[in-house]
C-alpha cells in the first residue's frame, strides 16, 4: 500500500514534467526550426499551422486533465447509502460493494479514501479514481494526449532529419536510430540536445500508442455498457443499445466536448439520484 501511495504522488509529477518538456521543445526548438525566413513567412504557413495544432491539442489535454482531477469521486458517505453498522462499513473498506448501496458497481478506493459511482479504475497519472463523474473527461484526456505525443513525434523526426541530414523514408531508419545515436553520442559525434530529442521521440511514441490503445479499449467497454471494475469482478450488466451507453457517458453535448474541455453536465449518469 505504501508503494501505491508513493506511485500516486510520483506519477502525476512525472506526467507534468513530460508535458513541460514537450511544450518547451515544441515552442522553442521544433516550431522555430520550421521557419526558413520569418520575415517572408505567410500567414498560413505550415509552421504556424503546426504551432496552432499543437497548442489546440495541448490545451485540450491539459484542460481535460484538470477536469478529471476536479470532478473527483464522491466523498465517503456523501450522498450515498452506505448502510448502517460496522459490518457494512467493513464491506466498503474491503473494497466490495455495500449491500445498502443503491448504485451499481460502487466502489471504495483505499488510495482516494472515497466512494466512486460506476467505478472503472484508479488512474495513478491523475491521482484520482475514474467513474461516472469524470469518465468522459478521462477519455478526452487520453485521446488528446495521444494526439499531442504523435504530433510531437512527427515534429521531432522532422527536426532530427534536418539536423542530422537523414531520411526516415525507410521504416527501419527509425528502429535503428537509437542504437546508432548512442554510439555516436559516446564517440562525441552527436550533441547532447540532439540525443535528448531522440530519446524523447521513443518516449512520445510509447506514450502515444499506450494512450491510444487505452482509449480504444475504454470506448469498447462503454459501447458494451461495462466498466473495468465490472469486468474484473465478473459482474453481469443489463444489455442496452450502444447509443444509450455512449449517451450516458458523453452526454448530449458530446460534439462540443470534443473541441472544448468542459464538464460532462449533459450525461445521464450525472443525473442519477440515489434512492
Q: Is 123 a catalytic residue?
A: yes
Backbone region of residue 96 per phi and psi (left: phi > 0; alpha: psi in -120 to 50; beta: other values): beta
DSSP of 56-103: HHHHHHHHHHHHHHHSPPEETTSSS---SSHHHHHHHHTTSPPTT--S
Of 112, 123, 142, 149, which one is the catalytic site residue? 123
Burial of 206 (0-12, 13-18, 19+ CB in 10 A): exposed
Provide the strand spans (E) within 110-182: 114-116, 121-123, 128-130
C-alpha cell at 215: 482509449
Q: How many CA atoms lie within 13 A of 28 on its CB side?
A: 8
CA 233 to chain centre: 24
The DSSP bridge pattern shows strands 107-109 and 128-130 to be unpaired
In 3D space, the residue among 9, 260, 228 whose CA is nearest the CA of residue 137 turns out to be 260
What amino acid positions are annotated as catalytic residues? 123
Amino acid at each position: 500500500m505504501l508503494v501505491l501511495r508513493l506511485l500516486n504522488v510520483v506519477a502525476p509529477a512525472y506526467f507534468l514534467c513530460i508535458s513541460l518538456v514537450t511544450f518547451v521543445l515544441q515552442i522553442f526548438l521544433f516550431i522555430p526550426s520550421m521557419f526558413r525566413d520569418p520575415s517572408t513567412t505567410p500567414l498560413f504557413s505550415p509552421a504556424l499551422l503546426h504551432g496552432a495544432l499543437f497548442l489546440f491539442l495541448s490545451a485540450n489535454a491539459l484542460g481535460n486533465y484538470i477536469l478529471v482531477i476536479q470532478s473527483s469521486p464522491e466523498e465517503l458517505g456523501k450522498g450515498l447509502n452506505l448502510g448502517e453498522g460496522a459490518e457494512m462499513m467493513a464491506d466498503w473498506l474491503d473494497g466490495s460493494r455495500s449491500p445498502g448501496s443503491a448504485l451499481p458497481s460502487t466502489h471504495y478506493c483505499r488510495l482516494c479514501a472515497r466512494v466512486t459511482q460506476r467505478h472503472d479504475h484508479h488512474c495513478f497519472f491523475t491521482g484520482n479514481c475514474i467513474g461516472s463523474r469524470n469518465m468522459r473527461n478521462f477519455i478526452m484526456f487520453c485521446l488528446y494526449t495521444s494526439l499531442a505525443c504523435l504530433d510531437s513525434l512527427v515534429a521531432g523526426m522532422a527536426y532530427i532529419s534536418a539536423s542530422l541530414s537523414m531520411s526516415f523514408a525507410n521504416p527501419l531508419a527509425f528502429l535503428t536510430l537509437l542504437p546508432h545515436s548512442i554510439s555516436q553520442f559516446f564517440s562525441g559525434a552527436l550533441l547532447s540536445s540532439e540525443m535528448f530529442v531522440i530519446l524523447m521521440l521513443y518516449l512520445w511514441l510509447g506514450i502515444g500508442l499506450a494512450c491510444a490503445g487505452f482509449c480504444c479499449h475504454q470506448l469498447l467497454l462503454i459501447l458494451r455498457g461495462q466498466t473495468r471494475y465490472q469486468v474484473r469482478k465478473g459482474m453481469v450488466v443489463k444489455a442496452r443499445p450502444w447509443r444509450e451507453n455512449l449517451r450516458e457517458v458523453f452526454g448530449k453535448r458530446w460534439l462540443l466536448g470534443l473541441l472544448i474541455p468542459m464538464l460532462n453536465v449533459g450525461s445521464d449518469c450525472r443525473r442519477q439520484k440515489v434512492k
